[in-house]
Amino acid sequence: MTSTVQTLGRIETRTGERLAAVAMAALFGFGLVFMAGFSPASVLHNAAHDFRHTQNFPCH
């Protein structure tokens, strides 16, 4: 009879990787806020309307 022992390895992340992930998330978030805050309402409406059509969701 054989038995196997499975050990869980410790996952370590470097501080630089963590900071890079936070910076990318912040950049993405600020980009979304900037685009939503400064684009004209008609552009947002048309984008949402086109997205609904691509998802085969009836909107009119």
pLDDT in tens for each of the 60 residues of the chain?
Answer: 566 655 565 566 688 889 999 999 999 999 888 887 888 888 888 888 888 888 887 776
Q: What is the pLDDT of residue 25?
A: 96
Is 45 part of any domain? yes
Residue 9 resides in a domain: no
CA distance 13 to 53: 41
Does 37 reside within a domain? yes
For residue 24, the model assigns a pLDDT of 97
Whole-number Å distance between alpha carbons of 33 and 44: 13
Work out how many domains the chain is built from and give that number: 1
- Please report the pLDDT score of residue 58 as a whole number: 75
44: containing domain:
15-54
Q: Judge whether 28 lies within some domain.
A: yes
| 2 domain-assigned | no
